[in-house]
Chains A and B, each alone.
Chain A
Amino acid sequence: MVSPVLRRVNARAQQLLQIADDELVLGWRNSEWTGIAPFLEEDVAFSSIAQNEIGHARALYELAARELGTTADELAFDRSQEEYRCSRLVELRLVPDWARTIARHVLYEQADEQRLRELVDSDDGEVAGLAAKIDREEAYHRMHAQMWHERLKDQPRYVEALEELRPLVDERGEHGPELAELWEEMTMVRRSVVGATW
């Protein structure tokens, strides 16, 4: 069921939703490491990165929501699974594989950096402004990813993971079963009581 809102999604909103969906889903996946990361400092670090990403998603949804005449919450949680525009890369559930998790982290941050750089140059003042803010925070994510890449780059499991995941960076369209599972969990509470105001 395509929500009425989505029927009139224009190019600008589509672009915003694509990034927002990536950030929301990746933030969710990264937060699955909270409490079980390899060591305490990294638990805090990765949770913090996850939280930042969800914050980015929120800001992007809000921008799109104003355009579409809806709310950020509705865009984040009330669409059907097919309507999400995230990449295959971010959908995958990688816990408890740290090598693959870091590989995804590195690949995503590289791709996101390029995407943000284009948006910062956008003629659209609102989008450019938000992209610049997000980019300044993402600088720390990139630093973190680079640090880990330096540390793991000679490890066979990590090298394999990079090769395995690289093709999924730009794969969008058909979602895998992982997104269905994630969507169920993510929207479970919200759907649990019909008509509730939270």
Chain B
Amino acid sequence: MGPAGRARRSGVIYEVFRLERKGQPFQHAGSIEAPDATFAEWYAREQYGRRGESVALWVVPRDAVAEIDDFIDELERNYHRVDGYPLKEKLRQARERAGTNASATG
């Protein structure tokens, strides 16, 4: 065999999502490289459906997936978020105001 060259990409990447049980959300299971959708379906069945582990599969060309990875939070509106209200801290402050420093469970 000759020296290792740069790997050639000849196919299309498909992302596979699987449904474990009806009522569950589809979850990402992995990706497949295939020449076209027909091959992708065959490979998806083989790699993600051979042992009856999935009720259904979604096979999606990666290009069809729109990724969003930048989010703006200029004013740090942490009150939008669940963790923007630290309850422990507020409880501690309230107890101090009320004159009881020791907190049983905090």
Please give the residue numbers on chain A whose beta carbons come within 8 Å of chain B beta carbons, in ascending order: 39-41, 44-45, 48, 140, 143-144, 147, 150-151
Contacts and interface: CB of A to CB of B under 8 A. Distances in A.
A147 B43 CA distance: 11
Contacts of A39: 10-11, 33
A40 B33 contact: yes
A143 B42 contact: yes
A50 B91 CA distance: 66
Nearest to B50: A48
B45 A41 contact: no
B47 A41 contact: yes
A193 B34 CA distance: 45
Interface residues of B, number: 14
A132 to B, nearest CB: 19
A147 B47 contact: no
A151 B42 CA distance: 14
A38 to B, nearest CB: 9
Contacts of B3: none
Interface string B16-60: 000000000000000011110011001101110010000000000
The CB with the most chain B CB atoms within 10 A, among A41, A143, A151, is that of A41
A151 B36 CA distance: 10
A41 B50 contact: no
Interface of B: 10-11, 32-35, 38-39, 42-43, 45-47, 50
Contact of A44 (B35, B39, B46): B46
A41 B33 contact: yes
14 contacts: A39-B10, A39-B11, A39-B33, A41-B43, A41-B46, A44-B46, A44-B47, A45-B42, A45-B46, A48-B46, A48-B50, A140-B45, A143-B42, A144-B42
Contact of A147 (B10, B11, B42, B50): B42
A131 to B, nearest CB: 22
A56 to B, nearest CB: 16
Contact of A45 (B11, B33, B35, B43): B43
A147 B33 contact: no
**A-B interface, 10 closest residue pairs, ranked by CB to CB distance from nearest:** A41-B43, A147-B38, A45-B46, A48-B46, A147-B39, A144-B42, A41-B32, A44-B46, A147-B42, A41-B33
A154 to B, nearest CB: 14
A40 B10 CA distance: 12
B40 to A, nearest CB: 9
Nearest to A40: B33
A45 B44 CA distance: 10
A45 B43 CA distance: 7
Given A39-B33, A151-B35, 9 more contacts: A39-B10, A41-B43, A41-B47, A44-B46, A44-B47, A48-B46, A140-B42, A144-B42, A147-B39
Contacts of B10: 39
